[in-house]
Amino acid sequence: MLRPNVDQRKSEILEAAVQVIIDVGFTEMTVADVAKVAGVSTALVHYHFSSKVDLITAAVRVACEDDKELRNSIADGPGSVVHRLDRVLCGSLPPDPTDGSWLLWIETWGETRRLPTLRDVMAELTDHEIEVIHRLFAEGAIAGEFTCADPNQAAARLSALRDGLAIQQTLFAAGQAPEVFVEEFRGGICHELGLSRSEYDRLIAIRE
């Protein structure tokens, strides 16, 4: 049997770190916890990462890069601009309160007060999302699908609205259907784009 190479082991450690962060949080997690989940020694974790903070930051950065890659693939994919914008925004809401991605982001946001390196990584993720939304706004205007009077502020507002809805859904609304939050979010998007809901629904349906 071939032994895992160095890069594979490092990737497994980072995946384990994300899982431990979700399960127990930054304060309670230890390098030993991560090593156990990854099936490696603590010495190997320390070989790759000089400190717990270094490990946490690297793990969150990998998760952020995955998020950016997915967002770009949707934004550059097929369908009307509104269809792609809906997938970028509404598609990023948690499908249920146990969604791992949102549990990770909520945990991470709380820790950014204490870890400047983590704050920088999360700021880059937010900037990327707003840039993608703004790019789709410009494309939608050129295509004649909608107009947005203040794209920069609209993008920031929609990103903030999505975050607020996701936090509410994940932490306080376990009994509510995800569709409730999607519908509320779509109302906010329609408002920013100056579209009626019927116009929005028609454009969402254009998938090619």
Q: Do 20 and 84 contact (CB within 8 A), yes or no?
A: no
**By C-alpha distance, which of 101, 90, 67 is closest to 181?**
90
Taken as a whole, the chain contains a residue count of 208
Domain of 3, in residue numbers: 1-49
| One domain for residues 45 and 141 | no
pLDDT given for residue 2 in this prediction: 43
Q: What is the pTM of this model?
A: 0.90
| One domain for residues 42 and 97 | no
| One domain for residues 86 and 12 | no
Task: Please state, in angstroms and rounded to a whole number, the distance separating the CA atoms of residues 94 and 169.
Answer: 8
| One domain for residues 181 and 102 | yes
pLDDT per residue as tens digits for the range 44-61: 999 999 999 999 999 999
pLDDT per residue as tens digits for the range 77-126: 999 999 999 999 999 999 988 899 999 999 999 899 999 999 999 999 99
| One domain for residues 45 and 75 | no
Q: Which CATH number covers residue 18?
A: 1.10.10.60
| One domain for residues 179 and 98 | yes
Percent over 70 (pLDDT), the chain: 98
E strand or H helix at 169: helix 151-172
Q: Do 134 and 155 contact (CB within 8 A), yes or no?
A: yes
**By C-alpha distance, which of 65, 36, 56, 47 is closest to 10?**
47
Total tally of structural domains belonging to the chain: 2
